[in-house]
Amino acid sequence: MTMLLAGEAVKHGLEYVSYFECDSSEEADYLVDFDMPINTQEDTKIFINQDTKLFVSGERILYPSLVQNNKGRVTVAHDLACVRVDEKSIIDSFEVFDTVSTKEIYVLDTEEDFESGHSNEKRFEQHQSSMMSVLAEHHKVGQKAIGVHFDGTLNFLYYNGKQVINAVPAIAFESDNLWEKIRTLREGSDRLVGNYKKAYPEVWDRLDNLAGDMDIFEVTAIALGLKDESFEGISAEAVSFLGKGGLQIDTRVKDNRFDNYAFLTSIMSYQLGDVENNFMCYSIYESFGDYIGELVPQLCDKVDTRIVVLTGETFANQSLYGRIQRTVGQYNPLMNQNFPIGKENAVHGALYL
C-alpha cells in the first residue's frame, strides 16, 4: 500500500507524505479502506555441498517463474499451476489464476481433490515429471537417459527419448503387520524378532502398533529412538558422525529392487550389537549410495547412454550426496538448477511429457 501511495505522490509532484494507522472512527482528510489478498508461499529450503547449491523444496524466490511452453498446455501439481497468460507461460500458486482456456491439462495423479472438468485431462506421476524437468533444464529432452528418483522410495527410471519408464520400481513398503513381514523374511529372522523384543520392548510395541501409511525412514527413526522421527532426523544424526567408512547395510537386492524389510532387519541386527546411532545413520546413506552406484552403470550400459538424472529430496543429504559423487560421479549426474529437486519441479516437468 505504501508503494502505491508513494507512486501517486510522485505523479502529483508531492515531496513527501505523512500517514499513520488509525481506526474508522478517526477524522482524516482521506480514509483508505482496503483488503488486499495475501498469497502465502512455502519457504525455500537450500542444500549446499562445497560449491554446489540446490533448491530442495519450497516456493519463495522461485515462483512466479516464466517458462517455455511450446505445447500451450496447462499443468497442475502441488498447488502450483503453469498457465499461459498474454503469450507467456507462468508458474505460480494455483489460486492466483482465473479461468483459462486450454486444449489440454496435465494433473499430478496425487491431486485427488482437483477436478478440472476438461475433456482432455491427463494424469501423470511425480517421478516422470521430475525427470523431465531436469532434462528440460539441461536441454536433453529427446535423448536417452537413466534417472534415479529418491523421495522416501527409490526408483530407477529410463527415458527412451519419448517417455519415462519406471525400469526398476521400488518394492512397496507397508508399515502395518511389520513384525510378521520381518519374521518370515529369511531363516533365523524369527529369532531376531524375539531378541529385539527382549532388548527393546518399548520400541517393539511401538512398531507393532503403527498407524497410517509410514515410509521406511520414519519407521527407521522410530527403531533408532530418534527425537525427530523422519528422514530429516536420520540426516541430522548421520552428519554428526565424524569418522570415515560405514557399515554395510543389507539391502537384499532381489531382481535389482531394494528390499525395505531386509534393510530394516539389518539395522535392528546392528542395534543388538550396540552400534552407535550416528554411525548407523551414516552407514544408511553410504549403503544407498553404493546400491545406486552399482545399478546405474549397469542400466547405462544396457541402454547405451551416459546421461544420468537425479531427482528427489532424499538426495539433499551430505552423506548420500558425497557417496553418490564417488560412485556415479564419472557420469556428471544432472539435477535441477532453477527448480527444486523435490516435488515442486513436477509442474515444470509435466510440460515435456
Q: Are residues 109 and 257 in the same domain?
A: no
36 in a structural domain: no
Same domain, residue pair 88 and 150: no
Among 19-28, 63-72, 166-175, 206-215, the least confident range: 19-28
What are the pLDDT digits (tens) for 31-61?
666 666 666 788 899 999 888 999 999 998 8
Mean pLDDT of 320-339: 93
CA 214, CA 171: separation in Å to the nearest integer? Answer: 14
pLDDT given at position 285: 85
Domain that holds residue 106: 54-125+344-352
Kindly report the pTM of this predicted structure. Answer: 0.81
> Are 315 and 348 in the same domain?
no
Domain identity same for 220 and 154: yes
Lowest mean pLDDT among 119-128, 147-156, 249-258: 249-258
Preceding omega of 340 cis (within 30 degrees of 0): no
Same domain membership, residue 200 and residue 92: no
Backbone torsions φ then ψ of 306, nearest 5 degrees: -120, 15
Handedness of CA 123, 127, 130, 136 (dihedral sign): negative
Domain count, the chain: 2
- What gap in Å lies between CA 22 and CA 222, rounded to an integer? 52
324 and 208 co-located in one domain: yes
Indicate whether 191 pLDDT > 70. yes
Mean of the pLDDT values across residues 159-169? 93
The closest alpha carbon to 214, from 269, 149, 265, 153, belongs to 153
338 domain-assigned: no
* Co-location of 215 and 311 in the same domain: yes
Structure confidence at residue 33 (pLDDT): 66
Q: Is residue 90 part of a domain?
A: yes
Q: State the CATH number of the domain containing residue 222.
A: 3.30.420.40
pLDDT digits (tens, 9 = 90+) for 274-316: 889 899 888 888 888 888 999 999 999 999 999 999 999 999 9
Write down the pLDDT at residue 35.
66
Q: Helix or strand or coil: residue 61? A: coil
pLDDT value for 138? 97
Rounded Cα–Cα distance for residues 257 and 169 (Å): 7
